[in-house]
Amino acid sequence: MSSVRNLVIVLGDQLDPTLSALDGFDTERDVVWMAENETEATHVWCHKKRLVLFFAAMRHHRDALRDRGFEVDYHALSADRRRDSGRGLADILSARIRIHQPKRLVMTESGDHRVQSLLQECADQHDRALQVRPDRHFYCDPAAFDAWAAERQRIVLEDFYRGLRREHDILMNDGEPAGGQWNFDKANRETFGRQGPGALPHVRAFRPDACTRDVIELIETRYPDHPGHTDGFDLPVTRDEARTALADFIEHRLPVFGPYQDALWTGVRFAYHSRLSAALNLHLLDPRECVDAAVAAYEAGDAPIACVEGFVRQILGWREFVRGVYWREMPGYAERNALSADLPVPRAYWDGDTDMTCVADAMANVLDNGYAHHIQRLMVLGLFALVAGVNPRAFNDWHLAMYLDAIDWVLTR
Ligand SMILES: Cc1cc2nc3c(=O)[nH]c(=O)nc-3n(C[C@H](O)[C@H](O)[C@H](O)COP(=O)(O)OP(=O)(O)OC[C@H]3O[C@@H](n4cnc5c(N)ncnc54)[C@H](O)[C@@H]3O)c2cc1C
């Protein structure tokens, strides 16, 4: 039996080499622990590509940490579904605590209230201290958001966003917003017109390497009945690939991102959207890298202010804002149901089989790519679920299952 100082928990959406949990890591005395686990994969009926994304990115991160000399205790699922069946994160961690006998557990705060609670319970059961460190990935931590919100009668995105622009000196000229106004939303509501969008830039695709191909095979064997498919999996699963995807967006789509942010057209999958949310939410990309790259494109004259401000507002504004609201309002937030809506999620949201054209088109995107851009999410799938009376908790779980970028803090809204 070995005895380690810190057992450092790295969750599947914490794939950042500079993660706070790794601060002060001593390769002689500390061990990283990561786990693919059955219950996180199946407590909602997960899209196959979502499972591939998480496990492939985790395995690449494990290898990158090992290359840096970290000992990584990694629990991989096998193709045999009987093995690990019903074993949750806490069960797997418990077994490893018994083996390693760590003095304490260390982690960066989770993006999921439920996971944070179950890890705390697990630590308590084993009489181990759990040190929870702040998540530096975000511009604004939950305590700062709370302090900001506590001073206000109404919590409004625009106020929060302007505050962060000032605080971090982003798109500011001598205290004034670049381009003379804070928000260019009005300039960003073009349609594709009768003629349609014309030729759209290709989104950079990443060919799966041997590690990712192994994961694809695993998912197809272990979870053959899950929704979606793994064909054409092409997402970034490493930091280098994620940075290439960012550069591709900045060069080819950011200059036109703004005007068509809200536009829909049948068969159009990504349009000028960045398709960076999955890489961002797994922490393969830092939001500062995205914001800085967009601002640099504006300063170099490569992208207009309306496009750059629109993109910055999504990341610095909305993304930080929904996280602040999540931690402020949880755990009750996820259980709210002001309209007492109680219908299950329609079957068409799992198989795409419907003659409602907009829903069918959005669902084709969801099933093929585990993706929909925000107008499809909000105005098509979200609005229909609202008017139909779908239970919000069930709809939340559906998001967690079907969108590759879904993590509890960002999908609960
Ligand atoms: C009902 C509903 C559910 C959603 N669920 C999720 C989710 O599970 N995960 C998720 O990451 N986003 C979610 N969003 C926000 C948004 O739709 C996605 O972030 C975006 O469509 C991802 O595509 P993209 O990377 O091409 O985004 P772009 O349009 O290129 O935007 C750039 C980035 O800004 C951020 N962003 C944009 N809009 C939002 C927003 N409203 N809230 C938070 N961040 C935003 C994302 O990180 C995104 O990558 C949801 C929106 C709605 C209306």
CA distance 334 to 329: 9
Is the separation of the CB atoms in 334 and 396 below 8 Å? yes
Give, for 106, the enclosing helix (H) or strand (E): strand 104-108
Tell me, in angstroms, the distance from the centre of ligand 1 to residue 406's CA. Answer: 9
Residues 289 and 348 in one domain: no
Tell me, in angstroms, the distance from the centre of ligand 1 to residue 370's CA. Answer: 13
| Domain end residue (candidates: 329, 349, 368) | 329
Give domain status of residue 1, yes or no: no
- Position 292: which residue type? D
Residues 94 and 197 in one domain: no
CB-side neighbour CA atoms (13 Å) of 279: 24
Is the separation of the CB atoms in 209 and 184 below 8 Å? no
Give domain status of residue 219, yes or no: no
Q: How far is CA 93 from CA 7, 34, 115, 125, 172, in A?
A: 10, 9, 12, 11, 47
Helix, strand, coil fractions of the chain, as percent rounded to 5? 50, 5, 45
Residues 21 and 78 in one domain: yes
Instruction: Check if 253 has its Cβ closer than 6 Å to any atom of ligand 1.
Output: no
Is the separation of the CB atoms in 279 and 285 below 8 Å? yes
Nearest-CA neighbor of 291 among 165, 158, 143, 156? 165
Residue 44, classified by CB atoms within 10 Å of its CB into exposed (0-12), middle (13-18) or buried (19+), is middle
Give domain status of residue 207, yes or no: no
Residues 323 and 339 in one domain: no
CA distance 226 to 60: 24
**Tell me, what's the pLDDT at 87?**
86
CA distance 201 to 199: 7
Instruction: Check if 373 has its Cβ closer than 6 Å to any atom of ligand 1.
Output: yes
Q: Which atom of ligand 1 is nearest to the CA of 287?
A: 47
Give domain status of residue 233, yes or no: no
Give the pairing type, strands 129-133 and 6-9.
unpaired
Give the pairing type, strands 104-108 and 6-9.
parallel
Residues 47 and 82 in one domain: yes
From 274, 374, 413, the mutation candidate for ligand 1 (largest count of ligand atoms within 8 A of CB) is 374
Residues 152 and 62 in one domain: no
Tell me, in angstroms, the distance from the centre of ligand 1 to residue 372's CA. Answer: 9
| Domain end residue (candidates: 133, 158, 181) | 133
Instruction: Check if 137 has its Cβ closer than 6 Å to any atom of ligand 1.
Output: no
Give domain status of residue 172, yes or no: yes
Tell me, in angstroms, the distance from the centre of ligand 1 to residue 272's CA. Answer: 14
CA distance 13 to 99: 25
Q: Which atom of ligand 1 is nearest to the CA of 249?
A: 30
SS (H, E, C) 117-171: HHHHHHHHHCCCEEEEECCCCCCCCHHHHHHHHHCCCCCCHHHHHHHHHHHHCCC
Q: Which atom of ligand 1 is nearest to the CA of 403?
A: 8
Instruction: Check if 374 has its Cβ closer than 6 Å to any atom of ligand 1.
Output: yes
**Tell me, what's the pLDDT at 2?**
61
Residues 307 and 188 in one domain: yes
**Tell me, what's the pLDDT at 39?**
82
Tell me, in angstroms, the distance from the centre of ligand 1 to residue 273's CA. Answer: 10
Instruction: Check if 323 has its Cβ closer than 6 Å to any atom of ligand 1.
Output: no
CA dihedral 115, 121, 126, 131 (to 10 degrees): 70
Q: Which atom of ligand 1 is nearest to the CA of 378?
A: 53
Nearest-CA neighbor of 282 among 137, 178, 66? 137
Residues 40 and 189 in one domain: no
Instruction: Check if 382 has its Cβ closer than 6 Å to any atom of ligand 1.
Output: yes
Residues 33 and 125 in one domain: yes
Q: Which atom of ligand 1 is nearest to the CA of 261?
A: 29
CATH of residue 29's domain is 3.40.50.620
Domain that holds residue 375: 335-411
Nearest-CA neighbor of 40 among 103, 114, 105? 114
Work out how many domains the chain is built from and give that number. Answer: 3
CATH of residue 363's domain is 1.10.579.10
Q: Name the packing angle between helices 287-299 and 305-312 (round to 10°).
A: 170
Is the separation of the CB atoms in 233 and 208 below 8 Å? yes
Residue nearest to atom 15 of ligand 1 (CA): 374
CA distance 314 to 321: 10
CA distance 280 to 371: 14
Give domain status of residue 216, yes or no: no
CA distance 198 to 175: 40
Instruction: Check if 406 has its Cβ closer than 6 Å to any atom of ligand 1.
Output: yes
Instruction: Check if 314 has its Cβ closer than 6 Å to any atom of ligand 1.
Output: yes
Is the separation of the CB atoms in 371 and 270 below 8 Å? yes
DSSP 348: H
Q: Name the packing angle between helices 287-299 and 239-252 (round to 10°).
A: 30
Give domain status of residue 123, yes or no: yes
Q: How far is CA 211 from CA 26, 56, 156, 215, in A?
A: 28, 7, 44, 7
Q: State the Cα angle at 132 between 101 and 237, rounded to 5°.
A: 90
Residues 188 and 85 in one domain: no
Instruction: Look up residue 285 and give its two tokens.
Output: 């990309």
pLDDT in tens, the chain (413 residues): 567 999 999 999 999 999 999 999 999 999 999 999 888 778 889 999 999 999 999 999 999 999 999 999 999 999 888 888 778 999 999 999 999 999 999 999 999 999 999 999 999 999 999 999 999 999 999 999 999 999 999 999 999 999 999 999 999 999 999 999 999 998 888 999 999 999 999 999 999 999 999 999 999 999 999 999 999 999 999 999 999 999 999 999 999 998 999 999 999 999 999 999 999 999 999 999 999 999 999 999 999 999 999 999 999 999 999 999 999 999 999 999 999 999 999 999 999 999 999 999 999 999 999 999 999 999 999 999 999 999 999 999 999 999 999 999 999 98
Residues 401 and 258 in one domain: no
Roughly how many angstroms between the first and final C-alpha of the chain, as a whole number?
Answer: 46
CATH of residue 157's domain is 1.25.40.80
Q: How far is CA 37 from CA 40, 191, 213, 230, in A?
A: 6, 43, 19, 19
| Domain end residue (candidates: 329, 348, 373) | 329
From 410, 412, 413, the mutation candidate for ligand 1 (largest count of ligand atoms within 8 A of CB) is 410
Residues 305 and 166 in one domain: yes
CA distance 207 to 27: 33
Give domain status of residue 237, yes or no: no
